[in-house]
Each structure stands twice: as structure tokens, then as C-alpha cells.
Copies of this chain bind each other. A is one copy, B any other.
């Protein structure tokens, strides 16, 4: 008998915590039999909610925490004073081996600095990165970094490529992932120094994946690559631009179907197909950014998500844990040991 998978939850993180966290956990419990939860939060608030879901309470251990990190707290302040917070203690449960992954919808900056401080990066990785998912015509594309860092050196970008590849291979199930480096054109001379230098590094290193070279913004949703590598500033802007366009498009579609009675009737007939399409672009389906590169699985849920979105974040953490993501990442970076300390790479970092 294998021991059950335990997921640590920051019950106090997110705009509508702890309600959304508890209801999300209940949805995730139904989807992932055998998973247990270790919740961290204010007993007075969480206990009554758990009381409503007997099956969830049966697989959940609640640990009382007296502090919570607020969305407006500065990350540096959270790092100094947050040791008794639900977020910190949930992360610490992964560090101690009590849980296989931690999910939080709380303050992103605080989550990043505390997770990095508590869990540390894996050997061979200088900086962790936030990784998210985007739809493409044949499935999903992973993109990193979405904002854990602002600017990235060529060495950072090269490490992100390897991190993204391990994710695509183990969690998305792509046998030999195709990796692209986000740029403003596909020609060698295009772009900024760090990106050009990273392309040289990726071509020179013997990597267990296909490096496609430079790609453009259109490729994020085109299905030409499995993993998009970029710095955190650019990745954050691209992800939020995509979110904005989807919102505008969905709003316009809704209006179009309300324009006149013929359109309304048309909607009634096509409703099932349209709903299916809407689900494909539903941001809740893509909720859960993976904080990669750490010695532990950390998933950030959108702060404003609902129970369905939070359950999807838990699902991402469960998948990563079940696929032994951390061990595979450690293994890949060990076998690519040379990636870390060549003079070439050191020069590129500086």
C-alpha cells in the first residue's frame, strides 16, 4: 500500500478565502480520490466551513494559524514577519515532507520569496520561474517566466528552457517537447542580447529536447512549440495581454448574440457548441501557475478565482506530485551539470 498523497493548502490566501479554498478542496477531493489535505488557517473561520462537507473533513487535517499574509503586504515584510502565517506554514509542510505540494491563492510576491527562502532552488538552478498554460489548436502550451523575475540573463533563460521541458515531458506527457525562445522575429540578428546569447547556449548544449530557436508572440497560441521561454517582464505582459483579449472577445460574442431576436434564437441553437468553446478559453481552466525550480511543488492560484478555478490549481499540484516532477527535475539538472559553470555561461550571466 502506498501512502496517500498529501496537498498543503493555504486556507487564508485569495480574495474570497477561506470559502473558495474549502469549496475548491471539496471539488478536488471528488476528482482525485486518495488525496488528503493539510489545511493551514484560522480555525474559527475554516472549521465551520469544513463542517459542511463531511467527506472533505474526513480527508483533511486542519492546523490553526493565527496570522495571514494580506494581498497588499510587501513581500519583504512578509518574509520578515510572516513565519506564523498560513502561507508560510503551508510551504513549510512541503519542506518538512508532510505534504507533496502546496497551493495558495495569496499574495504572489510573498509566496515567491517565502517559497524560495524555505524550499531553496534545486541544484543547478539560479532562479525559479512562474510557469503558466495557454491553449493552442492541438492542446496546451506552457510559458515561463510569467513574472517571478523581471530581467533574465542568457543563463537564466537556458535554465528556464530545461525547467519547462521537464514540465512538458512529465506533466503534459509530451515525449520530446519542442522549446522556443520568445523574440520579435525568427532571424538570428533579432532581439535583445540575453535572448540571442541564450539561443547560442541552447544550440551548443546537448539537451534532451528539440530547440526550435526564436519564436514570436503569435506562436504562444499557435501550437508550434510546447514550451515558450521568456523573461518575467515580457511573459507577464504577454499573459495578461492574452487574458485581456479573451475577455474582450468573449464580451463581444455575448453582445453579438443579444443584438436582435434572430441572433438570440441562433444562440439558443448553437449554445452547446458555443459553451464548449467558452470552456476552452475559460481562465479558470488555466488557473494555477507553477512555481518551478524550487525543491518542492508550489502552485499559485489566481487570487480572484472561484472554487472551480482553485480546484484546477490543486489538480495541477496533484499531477506534478504524482508524476514525480521534483525528482525528474533534479535528475535532469544533475545530468546537465555542465550547464551551470562553463566560462561561456558565466560570461553570459554577467
Binding site for B on A (CB under 8 A): 74, 135-137, 147, 150-151, 182, 184, 189, 191-192, 216-222, 230, 232-234, 236-249, 251-253, 255-257, 259-260, 262-263, 265-274, 276-277, 280-281
Contact = CB atoms under 8 A, between A and B. Distances in A.
A233 B152 CA distance: 14
A273 B263 contact: yes
Q: Classify the interface of chain A: helix, strand, loop or mixed.
A: helix
A263 B14 CA distance: 38
B222 A244 contact: yes
Nearest to A246: B245
B217 A238 contact: yes
A184 B221 contact: no
Contacts of A74: 189
Nearest to A232: B184
Counting every copy of the chain, the complex holds 2
A270 B248 contact: no
Contact of A245 (B147, B245, B268, B276): B245
A152 to B, nearest CB: 11
A165 B73 CA distance: 34
Contacts of A260: 272-273
A170 to B, nearest CB: 26
A238 to B, nearest CB: 4
A73 to B, nearest CB: 11
Which has the most chain B C-beta neighbours within 10 Å: A219, A222, A230, A242?
A242
Nearest to A253: B277
A265 B274 contact: no
Contacts of A236: 184, 216-217
Nearest to A150: B192
A263 B271 CA distance: 7
